[in-house]
Structure 1
């Protein structure tokens, strides 16, 4: 058996990881400053070069944990990087450096009481995918059912805790220096959710529960959990056959296929939220499977967020009123969602209405083109231009995961570049709520 010196495992020690990140940050900062100076001088200059992106992938992929999750999020934003650079960064979505098979076998035996060869009819030694907290192997159960087995990296819990502690110090320092940008509540929410992802038994329960949210959506598929082969650090699920969204989109699917999958993605995010108060809050393209039978498979249930009844009910009412083009009490509903508003009401209402107008473009259009979608860019611009005032409109902490999910949905829809009657798609969801 291999020792814990497997060099594909995340580096241990909070300060060792901080040192690696600090070195990367210095290089990254120098490049961004250089590109910024060239832009000021009127020269076309990309924010990040392909070479720097390669360094970013190598470092974050080795670190895994929270650092890699950050890289995954950055790779999804089409407005920040060129297609070439995003293609490099996209490797973080499920192609991080893998741990050796001997380490995998040791974790499985420690968790399930026997090595893979004794538990499965067949177990592929090469990983199918490698991600931020663990890697996935294809296997066949004794009864012939094909499955995937997710095995957690040894030591990744300590690594994740260390990353979050380092980030927490930054958040705490900034919040003390400027009360107006106190982000401690939002960071606490994100921290708690990320640490919960380490428990694969919890993920198994979330996966089983998520079936309720898609029960009325037969074009979506949640894999079955194999309880007998699941533990705190090993998760065995039914194998879904198909291509992940990021692999499917490069096969040049037809316009009809793009619209069909885009429709399924919208239903996959908003359906479970409105029906069961849950949302898939890690929506990068590696977590959705375009299946051979036409359904959309959902993968990775470690980041399923359950919301308060108040949050869901207020958002549901806001959504239905928007779809029916009814007058909306913007401030009243925002407060009901949990927002704190410290601006004069007319000023706050104007800011929120503009925000809802930007987000709601596909809901109002019978011929919306996501290839030309500028929702995320325009939202960023709206926030930047009104930064001081938006600091006085604070969402509830649970909103962090909601915005992470719906923002990721917009990135995925732009990635697919679908065009069509999306108002009709959102109306389908609204009709199911009637």
Structure 2
């Protein structure tokens, strides 16, 4: 047995004072966190105003400077929770940020400041009943990754299997609840004051899904279920759960070997590799959805891994969304019509999905049809180049130009997670920048159904 290493951190030896260690945990208290975010907001607003002045002077400004991005990463990384998840989403927007700034903010995807080893050991003892050294043959004190709700450590089981152990930050469940309650007040106030469509139902869907992510026993069950949905996808790897080393705040999975998508994409992959990984990513998102009604609803580049054996690994299962059969069936038929280039009853299928509309069908149908037309470009065009893809930009423009009418078309609440997943997929594909026969890839998805 390898002797345990002394506790270490990203920057050197750990402090032995418990009070000093606790300072490295996520900031607690709704008011304290709100005040921290308010301070960050003021600094970012000053940066935006400065860039606005550059625009008036005829210069080409960035939406966010590199210095402001560093401040954003530092603050959100310290806060973790919902605030950090928001930063992860921002880091994926290729239209909003320059590549340099996006690379800075991308550190939030799995490189947040981590909690001390003694706190990790305490959580393991509380949840699994013993020390890391007793529970595992080897346990690396330095984390492989630190994210919004917990951090991941490499370990080896007593039978020699290498595993990834995700340990939840103490108090993060309460912290996340406070964050979402703060955001909920904002959503409710804006909805009442602006005469816009009431967004509370959609926010409630997002809130409930995020709060469920703190239950690692639930995540273990979702991982096992997602593996069943991906069973017909040999190029997609879902790690096995280790039940005897899993509890409410500790999740142990088979360790996958490779590089996260965000690290792989900057390593100079060939055109062939880019197409291969883009294809796998499309299959990983749409395959389990159409086959089993489940989707990876937090698809930032830190949640996928390009494995050494060429497959695509899926890493995070707390945000797996299970959809209603009606929602899946109607979307499946809509997809098949689109990929086969067939006409469809847009309003009829939209209602089956769960959409409601205050507009006459003759006015609502073209709006929805244009969404399908923009999203379906890779299904119609061969070859398709995701490096120059304008789908995210054109979607934003379409909604902006027709904002008043879109407020009268309401998707079902569960569509929030669907749009989060498919929107993230579109951003990831643009990030990969592959070119090739993607119509063939979508036909491959259709052949599974």
TM-score, normalised to structure 1, is 0.98
Aligned counterparts of 1:173 and 1:246: Cα–Cα separation in 2: 36
Alignment correspondent of 2:87: 71
Q: How does 1:16-415 map to 2 (within 5 A)?
A: 16-415=32-431
C-alpha deviation, 1:325, in angstroms: 1.1
Question: 1:180–1:392: 8 Å Cα contact kept in structure 2?
Answer: no
Structure 1 stretches of 5 or more lacking a match?
A: none
2:251 counterpart SS class: strand
Label 1:194 to 1:298 Cα distance change in 2 as closer, same or farther (>3 A).
Answer: same
Q: Distance in 2 between matches of 1:323 and 1:407?
A: 18
Q: Kindly report the root-mean-square deviation, in angstroms, between the aligned alpha carbons of the 2 structures.
A: 1.0
Instruction: State the 4+ residue runs in structure 1 displaced beyond 6 angstroms.
Output: none
Match of 1:3 in 2: 18
| Gaps in structure 2 of 5+ consecutive residues | 1-15
Does the Cα contact within 8 Å between 1:323 and 1:363 map onto a contact in 2? Answer: yes
Supply the distance in 1 between the matched residues of 2:87 and 2:140 (Cα, whole angstroms): 27
Q: Deviations over 1:346-390 (max 9, x none)?
A: 111111111111111111111100000110011011111111111
- Paired residue secondary structure (2:397): helix
Determine the C-alpha separation between the residues in 1 that align with 2:380 and 2:78.
Answer: 44
The DSSP-based 3-state class of the residue aligned with 1:43 is: coil
Contact 1:28 1:52 in 2 (8 A): yes
Q: What's the secondary structure of 2:378's corresponding residue? A: helix
Is 2:197–2:408's contact at 8 Å kept on the other side of the alignment? no
SS at match of 1:180: coil
C-alpha contact (below 8 Å) 1:2/1:103 kept by paired residues = no
Question: 1:38, CA displacement in angstroms?
Answer: 3.1
Secondary structure of the structure 2 residue equivalent to 1:166: helix
Shift in Å at residue 127 of structure 1? 0.4
Aligned residues: 433
TM-score, structure 2 normalization: 0.95
